[in-house]
């Protein structure tokens, strides 16, 4: 009779790093969907185009995507640095040109 299988244990740090990598992969797709949403808005019943609201939305969404990408890149860089130093690999000093 086989032993009862134990649940798979994933280290918290590597699990979080993998989820951040997944978020970084999904961010461009989510950004494309978010930026295409104004195309689905129905225009108001006025003769003037309703571009002010769409412009504000596009710039706000663009800024939020930049902020999310910055935070993800920073967190992934910190996680990679911690992983390298934990394994004893250390960081190489910057090269002089």
| Cβ contact 79:13 at 8 Å | yes
| Cβ contact 82:19 at 8 Å | no
Question: pLDDT tens across 82-93, in order?
Answer: 666 655 555 555
What's the pLDDT score for residue 92? 55
Structure tokens at 74: 């920073």
Segments of the chain scoring below 50 in pLDDT: none
């Amino acid at each position: 009779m086989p032993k009862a299988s134990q649940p798979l244990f994933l280290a918290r740090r590597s699990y979080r790093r993998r989820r951040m990598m997944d978020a970084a992969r999904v961010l461009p797709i989510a950004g494309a969907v978010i930026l295409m949403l104004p195309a689905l808005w129905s225009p108001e019943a006025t003769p003037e185009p309703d571009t002010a609201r769409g412009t504000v939305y596009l710039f706000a969404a663009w800024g939020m995507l930049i902020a999310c990408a910055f935070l993800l890149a920073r967190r992934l860089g910190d996680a990679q640095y911690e992983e390298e130093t934990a394994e004893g690999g250390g960081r190489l000093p910057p090269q002089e040109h």
